[in-house]
A = this chain, B = another copy of it.
Amino acid sequence: MKKIIHIIILETSYIIYEGLIKILNNSSFTFNIHFANNFNEMYQLNLRYNAEFIILNPLLIQNITKDFQTFQKESGNTRWIGIIYTHTDQQLLSLFDGIIYINETPNEINALIQKILNTENPLHNQNSQNEMLSEREVEVLKLLVNGNANKEIAEKLNISINTVITHRKNISQKTGIKSVSGLTIYAVVNSYISVDNMQ
């Protein structure tokens, strides 16, 4: 007799929710799938079922990461799977035990679940990457990747252009990225700017 694995899904997209259920039900595992409408429902459901897996969209907890981490600690043996369909901050993803990308095949998704089941539950990363860049450097970076020239940055920050150049030199040293395009990608990946806000 197969062991029943409880899964809680918190996902606002009905299409993805139904697609996920279809894939999970076609797998070799026996799942009992519960649907949560929001973070609180997820909490209540997990109190009752002590789910092996909780699948949710990382974007739903991006503004409440502290609460989320507290919740993770309280529910020690639950594994967390993020499901993403747009670019998402790496730091956010690091809070999860595994990530399902929207384009993955059923086989890949099953392999992920199997892999997580076979590994020990690690403590989630506490040190969510110490900010490499200083406050001022981030300010300069933001203005830079928003299309400002050094001179404009200097004017907007009320500092000398020489200072801006020094900051940029330090940013490039710290990140190892010299080009503006590379720094733009860096800023996107680290959520200093949003792609969606720019066009």
Interface, chain A (partner B; CB < 8 A): 12-20, 22-23, 85-87, 102-106, 144-148, 178-186, 188-189, 195-196, 198-199
Contact = CB atoms under 8 A, between A and B. Distances in A.
Contacts of A85: 13, 85-86, 102
A165 to B, nearest CB: 17
Contacts of A86: 85-87
B199 A189 contact: yes
Contacts of A181: 144-147, 180-181, 183-184
Contact of A184 (B17, B20, B23, B180): B180
Chain copies in the assembled complex: 2
21 contacts: A13-B85, A15-B16, A15-B102, A16-B19, A16-B102, A18-B18, A19-B20, A22-B22, A85-B85, A85-B86, A86-B86, A144-B181, A145-B181, A147-B178, A148-B179, A179-B180, A180-B180, A180-B184, A184-B185, A185-B188, A188-B188
A147 B180 CA distance: 7
A18 B22 CA distance: 7
A87 B16 contact: no
Contact of A179 (B20, B147, B195): B147
Contact of A87 (B23, B148, B195): B195
B199 A195 contact: no
Contacts of A180: 179-181, 184
